[in-house]
Chains A and B, each alone.
Chain A
Amino acid sequence: MLFCTWAFAKFFAIVFTVYWLVPWRRLSWTVPLPRLRGPVRTWTLTGHELRIWWLVGASFYFYASWNRWLALLICGTTLTDFGIGLGLEALKGPRKRRCLLLVSLIGNLGVLVYFKYANFFLESFYQAWGWPLPEDGTGRHIPLLTVILPVGISFYTFEAINYTVDVYRRKVPAERNPVHLLFFVLFFPHLVAGPIVRARDFLPQIRRAKRWSWGRLQLGGEYFLLGLLKKWVVADQLAAFADPVFAHPDAFCTTANRLALLAFTLQVYSDISGYSDMALGLAHMLGYKLAINFDMPYVATSVADYWRRDHISLSTWLRDYLFIPLGGSRGGTWLTCRNFLITMTLGGLWHGASWNFVLWGLLHGVYLCVHRGFRFFCEARPRLDALLKTAPGTLLRMGLTFFCVYQGFVLFRAETFPQACQMFQRLWVHARGPWVPHPYGYGFFWTIVAGFFLAHVAGYWRWWDKLSVRLPAPVVSFGYVLVLLVCMVLAPTCDKPFIYFQF
């Protein structure tokens, strides 16, 4: 179920209504547990616990509406991690704890590799040996596997890994209630496309009972509306300028190719951050806080700054569970660069089972290495450093960073490497050709781009926050309704899935 569909709206209306109707304070059932001997033990079910069970059930239904067997897979892996977490806490010996952690890592990553990367590695193996790909499992070679990629597997696998690693590092106590752990992994706002939630941030929230808050409902609604605006008005509209060109770059002129790449650059950010905003909004409406995942990455002044602003949950996860364990930036320049390249390459691979994504990740690793070297170069030259920190210098850095990220998106979006090469050629070697035919023309395109830029300026200067504090409620409400109506008028005619669902 996509967040911006009628089916989801009905689903959420039911979940939300029942959730808040359950009285969290007054409701409490105490059930005596069966015993053979010893003191009487009871189990108390409070309204708060009932709410959590309701959300777990709703989240399971949310995922199972796509594929119920794979929903059971998530439950199975989560319950396994629950047992491993208890074991990690109970065991004292470091060797045994390390073995148990390895079991968890192998299990989680094994599931991820099997479902997502098995066919990719098999196909690469065939191509490396020059063998033809087998069709329908016939032939003398190992057949390709028939697997369905579980939606959101990359996200919930990383969440499960962060839980077991944090328990191992004793940063988080092992969760004693399996339902709470299931809730942490299955919670439907972040289940299929993030943000990647940390156990130490989310598990304490589960233990706190939630009280109704109009303010929180308003905040959740604002986030959801912002996400809808980004998805429907920006991402889905810009797709019409990008998709035809990426399908056949040679069929369009150089300028159309460049504008298509610009369209995709804005589309991918709006699509993913739109989803994240909707997830944040839904979670707030249910009383939970998820981490902010995007912080205007296109105003970044360097590639390092870009990764501090873009897909924050993923980049911080990679930093904490890959980059730092590899040594981080402690081992000198060459080791740091090695760690950058490994982290970013694997980060690229996480996005998709394709060499294009690997190259995209590698490119960003190279960018980080170059940035590090340049940073040391500037720090040794205070005048240059000061010049680059002035307003024009900052604009220059922002422009250069945007250009680097913009070029990288060719690899991210192209389906094959030859297609990416075609696109690069079309971008850099001037060629004539038609523009993308669009009923509203490129005036519409530039209107969206201008709106995008204006929104960034307004977001940075917090114009809406300042206005909403000063204006009366009816005027602010009118603003919200106007935005909602714009979203409705520009909604696409058919549901377009979110880009990150494929990850």
Chain B
Amino acid sequence: MNASSSPLLPDALPQHCEGVLPGPPSRLPVPNGWWQPREERRLPFPSPGRPSLVLARVRRMRRCSRALLLWVLGLFAASQPAFVVALDHWHPTLTESWHSHKWAMLRRLRAREPDRPLVVMLGSSRTDDAFDAEMLNGLPGPGGRPLVGFNFGGPMVGPVRQGLYLDEMLRAGIRPSLLLLEFVPALMCEPRRGLVSEENWTLAPWQTLSQIRFMWRYWSHPHGKRRDWLESRLLPWYVFRSPLFTHLSAALFPAARRHKNKDLDWYYWIHDEQGFRIPKCFTLQQFQAGWCGAWTTYAPTLQRFRLGRGSVRALRDLLQRCREEKIPTALVFMPESTPFRNWYRPGALEEAHRLFAELAWEYGALAIDANTWLPDTEFRDGHHAERGGVRVFTTRLIAELRPLLARLRDEDRPAEVAAAGPP
């Protein structure tokens, strides 16, 4: 830059710049003031040579800034997809950790017991808490072989994601001999702002592209989800910062490490080998907090309850898929406490029961209405079963399933006889 031609530059060098650098002052790039350093600090520690360093930086900036900024853009742009690739291939547990956790357990179970008939229950955290799959072990199943159960419950999983997970299971070659599907009206509510529904509580960034494509057709507001998903793929370091830092902090900070046990999921619970979430002991304050939390979360939704069209369609498609795949299915209306049932607006629960019965009849599924099975004392927050409630629920569920299991064994018997050959 020619100092004499520029209208932007002052008439003289600042005093501290003169004589600092070699060459006559007039050949120096005369500063325009925007880089002017701060006042000298008065400390006894020897301070670095400020004027030469400042001018060197200015000259460096003038030479290399464009290249540097382009490098910054390039490196930043490259770091984002690199993170997404690392996430998808090496550490999928970072995002929806419970799902990856359960998948890994299911695969291990299937690898261990490839021949035993598999009973899978799909559902939300209610299923996760209430269904002790181990109690099914050993019961006679189709072909006289002992059953093995698996609890595939997870947070806020409704009919849309139940269909997704069944689809993933079938594509992975895991075919349940009996499928139990949870029916929870609260998760099937029409997705409106501020209300609970499966759609509102499904975090698009945590799904893969194929999962988004599957769920897209059932969502009332798919474009918002798409925007969230795209944001997560363009800026994954920002969108996934919470699980990323939680994961990193376990390595860095001892206090966080106490929580980061490999057996614990992101809610700090332990699951057994068959996916059942082992109940914890709660204090009275935690019970009270649980009930208050449930009221705060669900009461506004249930008071304005309306069945969502997308959820109903997803459940119909799921049951149709089960029928096409010839997978025996039971639809289970999950237990709720009396106060919880009272939060529904008048007529809403009856509407849900009617839909439940209609779908079960239409698609030939076994209808198990467990809505009033548990006394109020067996809930820890009005809708999640407590320790005692698990045993009551699972025992009664097995009792309800026995006729279906017997029918399945009988259906299998002609095949056994044919396989055995003529006497």
Contact = CB atoms under 8 A, between A and B. Distances in A.
A485 interface: yes
A292 B253 CA distance: 36
A224 to B, nearest CB: 12
B253 A299 contact: no
B58 interface: yes
B44 A394 contact: yes
Contacts of A53: none
A289 B62 contact: no
Contacts of B7: 208-209
A242 B154 CA distance: 35
Contacts of B54: 465
Chain A at the B interface: mostly helix, strand, loop or mixed? helix
Contact of B65 (A218, A462, A465): A218
A389 B44 contact: yes
B79 A485 contact: yes
Given A391-B44, A466-B53, A218 B61 contact: yes
B34 A289 contact: yes
Nearest to B75: A481
Interface in B192-230: none
B68 A218 contact: yes
Interface string B247-272: 01100111110010000000000000
B164 interface: no
Contact of B253 (A394, A444, A478, A493): A444
Interface residues of B, number: 51
B67 interface: yes
Interface stretch (B115-123, B234-242, B325-333): B234-242
Interface string B28-43: 0000011100110111
A480 B69 CA distance: 10
Contacts of A481: 72, 75-76, 79
A211 B8 contact: yes
A475 to B, nearest CB: 9
Contact of B58 (A215, A217, A390, A488): A215
Contact of A441 (B42, B58, B67, B256): B256
Contacts of A217: 65, 69
A301 interface: yes
B48 A284 contact: no
Interface in A423-459: 438-444, 447
Nearest to A305: B42
A219 interface: yes
B43 to A, nearest CB: 6
B17 interface: no
B245 interface: yes
A193 to B, nearest CB: 21
A449 B169 CA distance: 49
Nearest to A309: B41
Contacts of A391: 44-45
A221 B69 contact: yes
B53 A442 contact: no
A292 B38 contact: yes
Contacts of B69: 214, 217-218, 221, 477
B249 A394 contact: no
B57 A491 contact: no
A443 B48 contact: no
Contact of A295 (B38, B245, B246): B38
A217 B246 CA distance: 34
A489 interface: yes
A221 B47 CA distance: 26
B256 A440 contact: yes
Contacts of A36: none
A218 B34 CA distance: 12
Given A215-B58, A221-B69, A438 B255 contact: yes
B205 to A, nearest CB: 13
A398 to B, nearest CB: 9
A441 B246 CA distance: 12
Interface in A285-340: 289, 292, 295, 299, 301, 305
A301 B34 CA distance: 29
A461 interface: yes
A490 interface: yes
A299 B79 contact: no
A97 interface: no
Contact of A466 (B48, B62, B67): B48
Contact of B72 (A390, A461, A480): A480
Contact of A491 (B33, B44, B238): B238
Contacts of A218: 61, 65, 68-69
Given A215-B61, A477-B75, A469 B56 contact: yes
B404 interface: no
Contact of A215 (B47, B65, B75, B244): B65
B58 A443 contact: no
Contact of A484 (B66, B76, B252): B76
A468 B43 contact: no
Contacts of A440: 249, 253, 255-256
18 contacts: A214-B62, A218-B69, A221-B72, A289-B34, A292-B38, A295-B41, A301-B43, A391-B44, A394-B45, A440-B253, A441-B253, A441-B255, A462-B50, A462-B53, A473-B71, A474-B75, A476-B71, A488-B238
Task: For the complex of A and B, list the 5 residue pairs with the smallest distance between their C-beta atoms, beginning with the closest.
Answer: A441-B255, A477-B71, A215-B61, A214-B65, A443-B253
Interface of B: 7-8, 33-35, 38-39, 41-45, 47-48, 50, 53-54, 56-58, 60-62, 64-69, 71-72, 74-76, 79, 235, 237-238, 241-242, 244-246, 248-249, 252-256, 259
Given A213-B65, A389-B44, A488-B237, 17 more contacts: A209-B8, A215-B62, A215-B65, A219-B34, A219-B35, A295-B39, A440-B253, A440-B256, A444-B249, A444-B256, A465-B54, A480-B72, A481-B72, A484-B76, A485-B79, A489-B241, A489-B244
Interface of A: 208-209, 211, 213-219, 221, 284, 289, 292, 295, 299, 301, 305, 389-391, 394, 438-444, 447, 460-462, 465-466, 468-469, 473-474, 476-478, 480-481, 484-485, 488-491, 493
